[in-house]
Amino acid sequence: MPQPPVVHRPQPREDALTALVQELAADTHLVDEVVRAVGAAFPEAPRRPSPEIRHAVAALLAAGFAAFTREGEPEFTEACRFGAGRAALGVPVAALLSGVHAGRGRILEIAIERGRAAGIPAEVMMQALLRLDRYGILLERQVVEAYRAARRDLRRNHRDARIAVLRMLLLGGRGGGGPDPARFGLHAGGRYHCLAADAADPAQIRSLEGALARRGGVVAPVAGRLAGLVPRLPSPAPATAALVVTTPAVGLDRAPAAYALCLTALRAAGGDAPAGIRRTGMHGVAGLAGETALAAQPMLAGFLSESLLGGLDPGDEFHHELASTALAYLDHGQRLDRTAEALHLHPNTVRYRLRRLQELTGLAERLTVLETVRWWWALRSWPPSSVH
């Protein structure tokens, strides 16, 4: 009688390890954990990481888990793209390495925590972590090599020098020395418009860079954001889906403060702003004065939101509709018709929502200028971060 074939089954500990890798690969929150670790390691990075950064981290994690569970050469296409992209955005190599190390370390920490919780033996976890770390070392090498290759290309067209001079002038010398600003037409007695953009995609940055610099000055990525000092602003303004913030012309001695103001305005009216308030295109910082000034006081914004809107429940979707309708109402001069048109609602729907909000919070039918500021700020900041 023929013998049945021998089936080699994984040992229970191997089953547990495979299950752990599959769990990590399917965990959508893992990407957020790693992105936060990367951002914390790079203090010059924007407070809210760009979708491009999140996409890159997700792709790198997916490639790593795939390499862990199959034989053959790992895939490093996304790693190379990420490294070249950081060079194009003017991110210093030290910051790039800090971010990669932080992300790698966070993955190892999470894997250890999950492995212990799953009861995987220490020796099995050690072998798995060594494999994971070897992949991390190879990934880091690919990122850095692509970064350096891109930097060599930048040096050939003097873009690297433009990045260096802007880091020196806009970051108050924190970026290290750089070439003589006069080489790029920037002189101590001159006055220049400072600008910053929240563009994140390298191709979008290249396009904006040429458009903003066509009337002179220096425009280049600085620490992951497009920045510049130009004697004249382009007219007409370039069409773009990004937000570009500009200041009136200032002397080079005031450039660091002007740039810091641009960054605050970007956070207030760009990526960190509520969806209905985000701006695109070119805007003078004076036109964003309200949002910029209020963004500088996040704690006061939270206190005000809690005080005036304590009757609203952050977990109630209808209450979110009430708050967004009231915010639109204030943004449109407390006009029912304009608010209804902007929200694509019937005026009676707007009127009903405002009445319900008045019942829940005590919002008055008519507001003074200062009362309008307080309610607008509270609505724009609701729900306060403390409730999350």
Q: What is the pTM of this model?
A: 0.58
At residue 347, the pLDDT reads: 92
Residues paired with 219 in a beta bridge: 228
Angle among Cα 311, 274, 203 to the nearest 5 degrees reads 165
Break the chain into its structural domains and give their ranges. 12-156, 159-288, 298-387
Contact (CB, 8 A) for 76 and 138:
yes
Angle among Cα 298, 301, 303 to the nearest 5 degrees reads 115
At residue 8, the pLDDT reads: 42
CA distances to 161, 334, 348 from 373, rounded to whole Å, are 44, 12, 25
Q: Which residue has the tokens 């509709």?
A: 321
pLDDT digits (tens, 9 = 90+) for 108-141: 888 888 888 878 888 888 887 887 778 888 888 8
Q: Which CATH number fits domain 12-156: 1.10.10, 1.10.260, 1.10.490, 2.30.30?
A: 1.10.490
CA distances to 12, 36, 100, 224, 317 from 43, rounded to whole Å, are 44, 12, 14, 11, 35
CA trace torsion 48, 53, 54, 58 (10° rounding): -160
Q: Which residue has the tokens 């050939």?
A: 156
pLDDT digits (tens, 9 = 90+) for 313-366: 999 999 999 999 999 999 899 999 999 999 999 999 999 999 999 999 999 888
Rounded distance, CA 178 to CA 183, Å? 11
Rounded distance, CA 279 to CA 267, Å? 11
* SS3 state of residue 176: coil
> Thinking of the domain 298-387, which architecture would CATH place it in?
Orthogonal Bundle (1.10)
Blockwise average pLDDT, block size 10, the chain, 388 residues = 46 64 79 80 56 75 73 73 77 80 84 83 81 82 85 69 88 63 87 91 82 89 89 90 94 94 89 70 91 85 90 92 93 92 93 94 88 90 63
User: Do you find a cis peptide bond into 238, omega within 30 degrees of 0?
Assistant: no
At residue 18, the pLDDT reads: 74
User: Pick from 101, 99, 97, 120: which is nearest to 24 by CA?
Assistant: 120
Contact (CB, 8 A) for 322 and 356:
yes
Contact (CB, 8 A) for 233 and 8:
no
161-198: b (≥16 Cβ within 10 Å) or e: bbbbbbbbbbbeeebeebeebeebebeeebebbbbbbb
Tokens of 195: 């600008």
